[in-house]
Each structure stands twice: as structure tokens, then as C-alpha cells.
Amino acid sequence: MTVSAILSVAIALLLSMAMFMVTINVSKMTQNIEGQLELQVSLSPGLSDDKKESLEKEIQSVSGVGSVTFSSKNQELDKLISENGEMFARYKDANPLYDIYLVEVNPLNTLEDVSDTISTMDGVVEVNYGGGAITRIIDVFSSARLGGLLITVGLMFLGVFLIRNTITMTISTREDEISIMRTVGAYNFYIQMPFILEGISIGFYGALIPTVLVSSVYSWLYYESGGKLVSDIFSMVPPWPMLGYVVAGVFAVGIILGMSGSWLAVRKQIRKVR
């Protein structure tokens, strides 16, 4: 009986832990994308410092705009050279690039609006960003994150239900003992305690299986793939210390599930008779 209870808890926790790991990683990837998403506002050449300053203030006042950073065309060229090689060094004498403002946008779904507003401003040549595809990816990722969390929570409830059912079966064989205990005046907590302890141990052993399994599979995946899928943007969360927290969380959840499941079951049994 106990074995089947442990297994059912283990399965519920395994699924929710796996789901949670996916969610964490999707979340991280979303952050990566968001972090790299900024509007690049190119300024008309020869704009006076005063004009630049007032333009910066104007951009800053648009709703949805986070930080605004200035980067001169020389800085931009240096970045180009360091990212793409010395062959760009020959432009040093006649730099064809623009001075730019890097504009962070928050929330990201206002990206297009903000971009439209800024591009009509005086002194702005053009506004660049990744385009519609990026915003769509972000939408998909945030729904995936929400879905993942919902499924995780749902599976936890399933866990409570499974434990409650299994303990109910265990208890029905001890129905006589419980009713005799009530007859001789045992307090409810005295009757419940052994079952709750049993629930805790079911939760503990039920958490052991999924934590070992998911931790090893995740670590293997991480080191095998070098920590990223396809490109840097889709990088995985490093196993340590994240797995430590997740494992501790799964044990806590398992124990709470076990406790509440058996508490519900034994409570029902005690309530059966007055």
C-alpha cells in the first residue's frame, strides 16, 4: 500500500518537476531575448549637443521607455570591429555610422508603438529592432511559461488526491482501531499523528525518485549540449545552484502533499462517526 502511494506521489512530482524545469528555462530564454531587445535610434549626422539632449528627454518621456543610452558612432564602430573583425578598422577615418540612442522598452509589447512614436521625432533617421517575429516569440514564451506553471500546480493537486486515496485505503483496514480509539476518548490529533507521519514519509520517498531522476537528466543534458540549444539566446539555466533550490522545493512540496493528503483522509475517517 505504501509502495503504491510513494509511486503515485513520485509520478505526480516527477511530472511537475519536469514541467517546472521547462518553465524555468523558457523563462530564462525569454529574459535573454528581452535583455537583447532594444530600439536602436539613429540620429541625423551633425546634430548639436543641445538638440541631442532635448531629443533624449523627448524619448525618455514616451510611455513604455526604460533607460536611454547614448552611443557615439565611434563607439559603435569599435563594437563592430570587436564583434566582426579588423576588416572594419579601415572605416576609422571616414566613419559611415550614426550616433545612436539605445532605448530599452518595458513592457515589451509596446515595442512597436514606441518605435513608431520615436521614428517621427525630429532628428531621428531611423529606428531599428528585431521586428515582429521577436515579439511573437516573446508572446509564445510567456504563454508557455504561464501554461507550465498552471500544469505544475495542477499536478500538485493531483498528488494530494492520489495520497488521500491511498491513505484512505490504508485507513479503512484500521477503521476498527480508529473507532475504538474514539470510543475510549483519544483526541483527534492523537489518532491523526501516526497517519500524518506516514504521509510525511510517503512524501519524502516520493520526492526522492523524481529529484534524482530529473537532476541527473538535466545535468546530463546541460553538459552534453554545452548549456545552449541552437544559439546563445536559447541558453539553459546552469544546473547549480538552481537544481539545489528546485530539489529542496520538491522535497518540501512532497512532504506537504503527503501531510495534507493523509490528514484529509484520516480526518474523513474520524468524522465518519461522532
Partner 1 sequence: MISLSHVSKLFPKGVHALNHVDLNIDDGEFVYVIGATGSGKSTLVRILNAEEVPDTGTVLVNGIDVGKLKHRKIPKYRRQIGCIFQDYRLLPSLTVYENIAFAMEVVGASRKEIKQRVAEVLDLVDLKEKARSYPDELSGGQQQRVTIGRAIANHPSVLIADEPTGNLDPEKSREIMDLLEKINQTYGTTIIMVTHDSTIVDEYKKRTIMLEGGFVVHDFAKGGYKSL
Binding mask 127-166 for partner 1 (x = CB under 8 A): ----------------------------------------
> Which residue's CB is nearer to partner 1, number 195 or number 222?
195
> Which residue's CB is nearer to partner 1, number 156 or number 191?
191
> Which residue's CB is nearer to partner 1, number 120 or number 183?
183
Binding status of residue 176 toward partner 1 by CB under 8 A: yes
> Which residue's CB is nearer to partner 1, number 38 or number 198?
198
> Which is it for strands 124-128 and 65-71: parallel, antiparallel or unpaired?
unpaired
> Which residue's CB is nearer to partner 1, number 133 or number 184?
184
User: What is the maximal distance between C-alpha atoms in the chain?
Assistant: 98
Cα 202 to Cα 160: distance, rounded to the nearest angstrom: 11
Query: Shortest approach of partner 1 to residue 182 CB, angstroms?
Result: 7
Q: Which stretch binds partner 1 (CB under 8 A): 21-29, 96-104, 171-179, 235-243?
A: 171-179
Q: Residue 226 — φ and ψ, nearest 5°?
A: 70, 15
Total residues at the site for partner 1 (CB under 8 A)?
Answer: 17
Return the residue of 61, 83, 173, 274 that touches partner 1, per CB under 8 A: 274
Candidates 155, 151, 152; CA nearest to 9 is 155
CA atoms within 13 A on the CB side of 115: 18
Binding mask 179-218 for partner 1 (x = CB under 8 A): xxxxxxxxxx-x----------------------------
Q: Which stretch binds partner 1 (CB under 8 A): 31-39, 71-79, 149-157, 175-183?
A: 175-183
State how far the alpha carbon of 215 is from the alpha carbons of 208, 209, 240, 255, in Å: 11, 10, 10, 19
Task: Order across the sheet with 124-128: list the strands.
Answer: 65-71, 100-105, 38-43, 124-128
Query: Shortest approach of partner 1 to residue 186 CB, angstroms?
Result: 4
Q: Which residues bind partner 1 (CB under 8 A)?
A: 176-177, 179-188, 190, 270-271, 273-274
